[in-house]
Amino acid sequence: MAIKKVVVAGGGVLGSQIAFQAAYCGFDVTIWLRSKGSITRTQPKIDAIKKDYLDTIARMDTPEGKDPHVFAMGIADVDTFNADDCRKKVEAAYKNLKLELDMAAAVKDADLIIESMSENKDAKKDFYKAIAPLLEEKTIMVTNSSTMLPSQFAKYTGRPNKYLALHFANEIWKNNTAEIMSQKYTDKASYDAVVKFASDIRMVPLQLHKEKSGYILNSMLVPFLFSALDLWVEGVSDPQTIDKTWVLGTGAPKGPFQIIDVVGLKTAYEIVSMYTKIPSFLAPYHFKDMAKALDEYIKAGKLGVSAGIGFYNYKK
């Protein structure tokens, strides 16, 4: 099956990036949003992503631009890179990307639906139940969930044979990976079509052989972030010192709290909240204290990079 029309459900940090990357690669892309307020929150993200692409292209078009730490493989190949052509693709993506509130209008004739909503099980269930009757037989649906398994939702999609997981890393134009994970009902044709789509939007398809909460990337990343949050809420050290320790000690470009700012504190809160019901004597971390601390930041409007402030201030 050839995928041409793509609908991304949700305009959050990753949803906006996925939509822009697919549009950059020439796909017909619509972002479905639940409310006018969602448009108000999503459009600035798209504006910022456009700027990030253009800034990245400008850095790539320098003598040191081919350095792996600078060059973004999601944007172009090193040997065929042409800055002007890439800028034209960015402008076309920005112009052609559509935002839609009407679910039926958004998904009409869609080949692929990418669910990129918050890590809330009930909200995802409700979304799948609402969208299922509107989809055509051909439509493949994937979830970009960071931690939840596709098998949890397959029966609500109305097309378990055409449902699987497609998970992206943040800043996908630079970190161009796509983890692809099926569930027991997923047919091979749908799986293969998603693998090809991932490749067509310049991602490196990473195929999982079985279901795993957190996939590959987050199975390693989430415990790392938990460890940092635990150090903070236990009063061992402050976020800036913890970040400095990690960056200086490992050579990593960012510390855990800088990563949380990029991912978004709401997403971090939702993931932490999933673990707050674990009995304290079984919990390796102080999840309730983490959730409380993150909630205080969220209520203060400190949502991360997207809001201009989180653990760090990004406002100029």
For range 161-179, the mean pLDDT: 95
Distance CA 52, CA 81 (A): 17
> First vs last Cα of the chain: how many Å apart?
46
Q: Is 26 exposed, middle or buried (0-12, 13-18, 19+ CB in 10 A)?
A: middle
- In CATH terms, 219-307 corresponds, of 3.40.225.10, 3.20.20.140, 1.10.1040.10, 3.40.120.10, to 1.10.1040.10
Residue 54 pLDDT level (bands cut at 50, 70, 90): very high
Whole-number CA gyration radius for the chain: 19
Domain ranges in the chain?
A: 5-207, 219-307
Phi-psi map region of 109: left, alpha, beta (phi>0 left; psi -120 to 50 alpha): left
SS3 call for 78: helix
State the pLDDT at residue 70. 87
pTM of the model: 0.83
Convert the pLDDT of each residue in 256-267 to its tens digit. Answer: 999 999 989 999
Assign domain 5-207 to its CATH superfamily: NAD(P)-binding Rossmann-like Domain (3.40.50.720)
Beta strands in the chain (DSSP E): 5-9, 28-32, 98-100, 112-115, 140-143, 163-168, 177-181, 204-207
Q: Is 277 exposed, middle or buried (0-12, 13-18, 19+ CB in 10 A)?
A: exposed
Predicted confidence (pLDDT) at residue 89 exceeds the cutoff of 90:
yes
CA distances from 251 to 41, 142, 255, 258 (A): 34, 35, 10, 14
Convert the pLDDT of each residue in 93-117 to its tens digit. Answer: 999 999 999 999 999 999 999 999 9
Retrieve residue 238's tokens.
Answer: 């402050």
SS3 call for 276: coil
Distance CA 219, CA 201 (A): 24
Mean confidence (pLDDT) of the chain = 94
Query: Regarding beta strands 98-100 and 112-115, do their DSSP bridges make them parallel or antiparallel, or are they unpaired?
Result: unpaired
Residue 33 pLDDT level (bands cut at 50, 70, 90): very high
Convert the pLDDT of each residue in 277-296 to its tens digit. Answer: 887 777 789 999 999 999 99
Distance CA 181, CA 308 (A): 33
State the pLDDT at residue 146. 82
